[in-house]
Amino acid sequence: MGAGKSTIGRLLAKELRLLFKDSDKEIELRTGANIPWIFDKEGEPGFRDREEAMIAELCELDGVVVATGGGAVMREANRQALHAGGRVIYLHASVEQQVGRTARDRNRPLLRTANPEATLRALLESRDPLYREIADVVVETDERPPRMVVLDILERLEKLPPR
């Protein structure tokens, strides 16, 4: 959360001349409701079911860069779909960076807590090993402009053997 998935994904897609799809935005377009509303009405499990279906669909597409929500990796089905769908790039950000980037964002239901920093620490602890397990490339985003992160990703993707 707050690692720059949407911003960097959009820039990467442009650089690669591919379509860009954000799974959260696609869910919002399909449902006509924003993510916090879905969380409020269906709870996290309801949202995660929608997310799983959307990720499966997006990972079947060719020529697309997909950005997922930070929690997508928690479901085995999502990890399998992402890994099978193409290259997985894990954008890692420190908790301090995440706090700064998400502080004023009201569209993050999991951060509606008394201590968002503690929540982010717990989320990173549970999610980080899973992202590293499926990632083809791990990129640190702290204190780096999105354009520099994209150039780093492109350089590292070129060095990967074909799948």
Q: pLDDT 10s per residue in the chain (163 long)?
A: 667 899 999 999 999 999 999 999 999 999 999 998 999 999 999 999 999 999 999 999 999 999 998 899 999 999 999 999 999 999 998 888 877 667 666 666 666 777 778 888 898 899 999 999 999 999 999 989 999 999 999 999 999 998 8
Identify whether 32 is part of a domain: yes
The answer to the question of residue 67 being in a domain is: yes
Binding site for ATP, by residue number, is: 2-7, 108, 144
Residue 160 lies in a domain: no
Which structural domain, as residue segments, surrounds residue 148?
5-152
* pTM attached to this predicted model: 0.87
What is the Cα–Cα distance from 17 to 106, expressed in whole angstroms? 32
Please report whether residue 161 resides in a domain: no
Domain count, the chain: 1
Spatial distance between the Cα atoms of 1 and 84, rounded to a whole number of angstroms = 23
Angstrom distance (rounded) from CA 65 to CA 58:
9
Binding-site residue set: 2-7, 24, 48, 70, 108, 127, 144
